[in-house]
Amino acid sequence: MKNKGVRNAGHTLVETMIASSISIIVLAGFFSTIGVFQTGSSNLSLLLERDANLWLAPLLLSRWIIPAGNNRWNQSWSGVTIDTDRLELKSDIDGPGGFPDSKLSSSFEALALRSSNSNLRVQSNRGSFQPLIKNIVEFKVDSKESGLLSIRLKTVTDRPLSMTEEDLSESTELLFFLRNYRSNLFPENP
């Protein structure tokens, strides 16, 4: 009978209090760690998304800007035209069989780029402006000396980061040498 009484006695008040305190401390630590982890990973995700947008821009822009102009001896259009916050690019890069055909009718041969509603937008030929890269809040084009084209891009995160009030915009300047306005590698005479 005595053994049975001890076995069913349970815990004392002090034991319960100590156990509860330790459990509260451990669980509070665990949940605050989970909170920090969630906040950090959410912030990192926003930053990566912002930078992925910015990192995509040079690839696309260099693909379109560098052939613009092409310096063909009988070219009847200007390759690069800079308007206020708008860039127009014309290059005969495609045609039947993949060769230039002296026309700007194929897709992406006559382009206009501008930033509006926090998106970098592109217009191909006579189509309408379509979103190209999101969260680009600034797109400034400037023609520097010696045929250098400067493009300044500024991007922001989708929403403010948690637990910080920093200005989280990121900007970069890209230079493109318009080599097409120089002589080509081969002399071009009719």
Query: Contact positions toward another protein, by CB under 8 A?
Result: 4, 7-8, 10, 26, 29-30, 33-34, 36-37, 40-41, 44, 47-48, 51, 55, 58, 145-148, 172-177, 179, 182-187
- Picking from 156, 122, 154, 132, the residue whose alpha carbon sits closest to that of residue 49 is 156
- Minimum CB separation of residue 188 from another protein in Å reads 11
Taking the complex as a whole, how short is the minimal distance between the CB of residue 101 and another protein, in angstroms?
Answer: 24
Distance separating alpha carbons of residues 48 and 69, to the nearest angstrom: 35
The side-by-side arrangement of strands in the sheet containing 86-90 is: 80-83, 86-90, 110-116, 119-124, 130-134
CB nearer to another protein: pick between 63 and 179: 179
Report the alpha-carbon distance of residue 42 to residue 55 in Å, rounded.
20
Tokens 């690839």 belong to which residue?
59
Helix (H, G, I), strand (E, B) or coil at 34: helix
Q: 136 - beta bridge partners?
A: 155
Q: Which is nearer to another protein, 107 or 184 (CB)?
A: 184
Nearer to another protein, 14 or 175 (CB): 175
Judged by CB, which is closer to another protein: 61, or 110? 61
Q: How far is the CB of 82 from another protein (least distance, A)?
A: 16
